[in-house]
Amino acid sequence: MTRELRLLADIGGTNARFALQSGAGGGFDDVEVLPCAAYPTLGEAMRAYLANARARGLAVDGVHHAALAIANPVEGDAVRMTNHHWSFSIEALRQEQGLATLLVVNDFAALAMALPHLAPEGKRRIGGGVELAGRPIGLIGPGTGLGVSGVIPVENRWVALAGEGGHVSFAPCNRDEVAILEALWSEYGHVSAERLLSGMGLELIHWARTGKRLKAADITQAALDGSSGDCAGTVDAFCAILGSVAGNVALTLGATGGMYIGGGIVPRLGGLFERSSFRARFEDKGRLSDYLARIPTYLITEQYPALRGVSAMLSDRVKPLQ
């Protein structure tokens, strides 16, 4: 019997990643990344992806169940994206797309659900520590914004935490970071962790440190090729701040099952991240430094981990597909 396809998506502020899946727990078929800015609504992006998949010979007319992970709080039927202009009603979108099931969840809650199931080749250890089995796992990820989540064990399954921890207030840890905070106070008033730990944040850190306005991609490239000491210092400051915030998340969750780094920025830093101050600042928590030193940190290297997590959440919602 032909397995029924279901639609999965991971929607960020910049890109929407779509895939089809044949049955619960199966692999992903026909992954396509569409730029959010190219479509006026999420519904149009979904229709464009399905039309493309149909043109590639897939039986998308049989898609009845879908799950979307989105970079936004999901607290009811109405969703308005924080880092993009899309807004929609979940029920109206379900009807518009002709679906029996439409599950919409926070993207980092979906990513967190993938963490206990990552293969060894889907992650890279940064620093020391040993994870404890069956304990909470933390997650942080700078990209267009800053995602924060985790999973906790409940009986014989994992439960994802959906929150907006990226918007906690930024707390400087040294005089250089106090100067960065003071510069951003004059521009923004409240300064969140996300204000610094994001693509725009990398640009703001560089501006606050040097007075120069550069694009995040140019800062990263100059740091990677060694052509700018200022850019290398900006990247290390970014990684150090990420280490402190990740340590805060690990302490808050008691994440002795491990702390994971996702998002689109850190994987682009290559060896700069591994050589950075990230791990030292992760552990630098005074009397709790020994506690943090025992918690391992991992960089997620799997290409589409949020799709794996949102698939697991959809499987909890609908009966296994035949």
What the chain holds in terms of domains, given with CATH numbers, is 5-111+304-317 (3.30.420.40), 119-300 (3.40.367.20)
Mean pLDDT of the chain: 92
Cβ atoms of 200 and 13 within 8 Å: the answer is no
Considering the entire predicted model, what is its pTM?
Answer: 0.83
Q: Which two tokens stand for residue 317?
A: 């919602």
- What are phi and psi for residue 9, nearest 5 degrees? -150, 150
Mean pLDDT of 208-234: 96
With bands split at pLDDT 50, 70 and 90, how would you rate the model's confidence at 321?
very low
- Residue 106 burial (CB < 10 Å; 0-12/13-18/19+)? buried
Least confident of 50-64, 249-263, 281-295: 50-64
Mean pLDDT of 189-197: 95
Distance of CA 141 to CAs 10, 150, 241, 245, 264, Å?
14, 11, 12, 11, 8
Least confident of 16-30, 71-85, 140-154, 221-235: 16-30
pLDDT tens-place string over residues 117-168: 888 999 999 999 999 999 999 999 998 889 899 999 998 889 988 788 999 9
